[in-house]
Amino acid sequence: MLMTRVFCLLALSGVLAQNPPKSPTITVTDQKGEKGGSINFSFTVEKADQDLDKSQIHIAKASKDHKFTNARFKVDLSGDTSKLTGEASADSLTCDDQSGYIIYYQRIPPPPQQGPPPGSFLLQIEGCPPPEEDTAPGYPTITVSDQKGEKGGSVSFSFTVEKAESPLDKTQVHIDKASKDHKFTNARFTVQLSGDSDKLTGEASADSLSCDDQSGYIIYYQRIPPPPQQGPPPGSFLLQVEGCPPPEGDDGPPAQDPKITVDQQQHTSKGATLTFTFKLETSDKTLTKDKVYMVKASQDHKTSPVRFTLTYEVSSDSKTITGTAVADNVTCDDQSGYLIYYDKLPPPPHHQARMRFRRQPTPPPGGFVIDVDGCSHY
């Protein structure tokens, strides 16, 4: 349980999920093909500070429901560990091939603050309907507001769905809950719909609210729309449950007591000695060094005590502890996410699950990453 909580804290807060500090440069352009025809295009991948590995280059196709699948392109790579040139091809193009794609190294990067992620491109197929915009033409207008309820209590609210071009079908109206890992599941609301094929009014309700109900939700017609360029998608709303930890805003987790300060990126090289300091500060507690912990998170969801030599200096008023960590003969195994905490692990963060592209997540207080030159990025 302890191991799982630490890993979730690090992974969900972005300590392990951050884009690598220096990712390869991937260059590709949008493509066009003809229905039933073939397509051939090239792309390049140039190293940053690590030698390239051909086996780590992938192309994924993005679907309308925010998922990625392996693209069906045949890819041939040539070059060396500094720069690779890819030749991608596909035959018998169909309208299903018309989509957004991304070429990535090792893993798909998180969405950037603005614009498309590096390595992304669009394949447009002549003879097929043009790609849909953020909200497809003819998509109904869905109106709903954010909601509040009390822990253990009930919530009831209404929403409307107004047709655009086609008559509405009650069976195509759905409400899904958004999870922290960007997945959607059926919401547990009881929904009653009234109205006609031009406009529907929905009445949604839920009893015995718990902190698990505090989340972002989306009301949608037929399928979840693709994320818009700015702001939340139409039909999305937040349910806040009083008596539960408040959702975190875009500025990151709430203040921690004691405040833990550490450089979030520690950079070193293989065989070197890494030394860094960190600090714990409080205004109204008495701090003791035996309650200061540092743990390492691995990719198989386990944690372990750090192998570093840790020393501490406690201020005369016991309000500040300054720690020094030393790691000798650094290896690739030391490249990982870490967490410093006091007394006990903080709970996993409660992200405000607005369904939009957000900036790169911020590590939790006390979280940091060690990046080792000469090692593959985690």
Q: What is the pLDDT of residues 142-160, one digit of tens each?
A: 999 999 999 999 999 999 9
Residues 236 and 278 in one domain: no
CA distance 208 to 189: 11
Residues 281 and 318 in one domain: yes
Residue 72 lies in a domain: yes
Residue 318 lies in a domain: yes
* SS3 of residue 160 by DSSP: strand
Residues 122 and 149 in one domain: no
Please give the DSSP secondary-structure letter assigned to residue 229.
S
21 pLDDT exceeds 60? Answer: no
Residue 194 lies in a domain: yes
pTM (two decimals): 0.37
Number of domains within the chain: 3
Phi, psi of 96 (to 5 degrees): -65, -25
pLDDT of residue 103: 92
Residue 6 lies in a domain: no
State the burial class of residue 187 (Cβ atoms within 10 Å of its Cβ: 0-12, 13-18, 19+): buried
CA distance 114 to 134: 15
Residues 30 and 114 in one domain: yes
pLDDT, tens digit (0-9, with 9 covering 90-100), for 200-248: 999 999 999 999 899 889 999 988 877 665 567 788 899 999 888 875 5
334 pLDDT exceeds 80? Answer: yes
Q: Burial code of 53-87, b = ≥16 C-beta within 10 A, e = fewer? A: eeeebbbbbbeeeeebeebebeeeeeeeeeebebe
Mean pLDDT lowest for which of 88-92, 252-256, 310-314? 252-256
The terminus-to-terminus CA distance of the chain in angstroms comes to 23
105 pLDDT exceeds 70? Answer: yes
Q: What is the DSSP string of 300-346?
A: TS-EEE--SEEEEEE-TTSSEEEEEEEESS--GGG-EEEEEEESSPP
CA distance 231 to 174: 21
**Domain end point (choices 102, 126, 150):** 126
pLDDT of residue 6: 33
Quick one: tokens of 164? 């655009």
* 17 within 8 A of 257, measured Cβ to Cβ: no
Q: Residue 46 — pLDDT band, cuts 50, 70, 90?
A: very high
Residue 378 lies in a domain: no
Residue 151: how many CA atoms within 13 Å on its side-chain side? 8
**Mean pLDDT calculated for residue range 283-306:** 82
Q: Residue 236 sits in which domain range?
A: 141-242
Residues 214 and 276 in one domain: no
Mean pLDDT lowest for which of 240-254, 301-315, 349-363? 349-363
Q: Residue 130 — pLDDT band, cuts 50, 70, 90?
A: low
127 pLDDT exceeds 60? Answer: yes
Residue 3 lies in a domain: no
Longest dimension (CA), the chain: 77
Quick one: tokens of 338? 């870490």
Residue 310's beta-bridge partner residues? Answer: 325
Q: What is the DSSP string of 23-39?
A: PPEEE---EEEETTS-E
**Mean pLDDT calculated for residue range 18-43:** 82
CA distance 298 to 294: 14
Residues 277 and 354 in one domain: yes
State the CATH number of the domain containing residue 344: 2.60.40.10
Give the percent of the chain with pLDDT over 90.
44
Residue type, 12: L
Residue 151 lies in a domain: yes
* 287 within 8 A of 314, measured Cβ to Cβ: yes
Q: Residue 12 — pLDDT band, cuts 50, 70, 90?
A: very low
139 pLDDT exceeds 60? Answer: yes
Residue 251 lies in a domain: no
Provide CB contacts within 8 A for 37, sequence distance 6+.
93
62 pLDDT exceeds 50? Answer: yes
298 pLDDT exceeds 90? Answer: no
Residues 267 and 237 in one domain: no
**Domain end point (choices 195, 215, 242):** 242
* 216 within 8 A of 196, measured Cβ to Cβ: no
Mean pLDDT lowest for which of 11-15, 42-46, 257-261, 313-317? 11-15
